[in-house]
Amino acid sequence: MSHLPIRVNTLRGDQKIDFDVYIKIADKMILYVRKGDSFEGPRLARLKEKKLKKMFIMPEEESLYRSYVQRNISMAYDDKSGKDIQTRTEIIHGQQQSNVDEVFENPETVEAYQTAKDGASKYVQFLMNNDAALHSVFNLENTDRSLSHHGVNVATLSIGLAKRLKIEDPKVIQMMSLGALLHDFGHQESSWDRSKPISQLTPEELEIYKQHPDLGSARVQDKKHFDQMVINIIAQHEECIDGSGFPRGLKENEMDSSVIIVSTSNAFDRYVAFEGLTRAEAGKRMMLERVGRHPLNQIKFLIELSKG
């Protein structure tokens, strides 16, 4: 009987599961956690360290898995759940990553995109209503340079910037957040080696890297369920207000304000996620290298936000 894949970032270490979970080794399914047991901390951490993204369940237990995930999400979004903000943030962050991965792998699927869109709206509300949640996100290290983790962080910073800039239109913030989550979709199509810091790429490798906005936007341009603002962010998130960005060399008056916010947030988290810098070091690099390329007030706001 065929097993169904589930995503590791939807699992919790502190709760018992009511379904069996398997890992795939050499084309064989090995029972890893039995129903009634839990993914105690180190056990789940080891899986993530090995960069394992998917595990498996039996088809007849899919409803049990979905109920488990929904219970976790409902608890995480409930301000009265009694759970600490770090635990709630970890659950929500993991679910957002799962939504991003699902769209990356299945961009043609309307359901996957709509789930990510609805999730982005909830994530905006969560961060807008919980100042401490934004700082809890910074406690979650992107140890494997995951694109989906980076996407959630860029969305988090973008929402924080929107709040500081007093942007109040929920639809605008939702679209900006969703675009930030999915902005690096083009890397699914490129051969960029994420293990190598961008600053150390050869000229040839840098050219490959610079292709991802065009690759991503071209792949989804014909998908009617993709919102145009999301496509714009995928296509333009590497642009800079002085025209020094890529792939079009757009200037500030040619860019939507949401794109500019995501561009600034992306530049900041890229230092952390792919250059290995601390948030404090990233702030210094932004002031040294990105002033004039991004709005100064946005850079300063991000530095303030990252201090906690």
Which helix (H) or strand (E) is 56 found in, with range? strand 54-57
Q: What is the pLDDT of residues 212-264, one digit of tens each?
A: 999 999 999 999 999 999 999 999 999 999 999 999 999 999 999 999 999 99
Integer Cα distance of 165 and 134 in angstroms: 16
35 CB contacts (<8 Å, ≥6 apart)? 17, 18, 19, 20, 61
pTM here is 0.93
Say what the pLDDT of residue 41 is: 64
How large a percentage of the chain has pLDDT more than 90?
83
* CA separation for the pair 109, 102 (Å, rounded): 9
**Structure token digits, residue 295:** 């709005």
Q: Across all residues in the chain, what is the average pLDDT?
A: 94
The pLDDT of 114-125, averaged and rounded, is 98
Domains in the chain, please, with CATH? 1-82 (no CATH), 84-306 (1.10.3210.10)
pLDDT single digits (tens) 295-308: 999 999 999 998 86
Greatest C-alpha distance within the chain = 58
Residue 12's pLDDT is 84
**Distance (Å, whole) CA 6 – CA 21:** 9
SS3 category, 270: helix
Least confident range from 13-22, 45-54, 268-277, 283-292: namely 45-54
Mean pLDDT throughout 263-289? 97
Q: Tell me the Cα Rg of the chain.
A: 19
Token pair, residue 308, equals 């906690």
How far apart CA 289 and CA 296 sit, in angstroms, is: 12
Of 228, 184, 181, 176, the C-alpha closest to 210 is: 184
Q: pLDDT tens for residues 173-200?
A: 999 999 999 999 999 888 888 888 888 9
pLDDT in tens, 136-160: 999 999 988 999 999 999 999 999 9
Weakest mean pLDDT among 38-52, 101-115, 228-242, 275-289 = 38-52
What is the reported pLDDT for 1? 58
The DSSP 8-state label assigned to residue 54 in this structure reads E
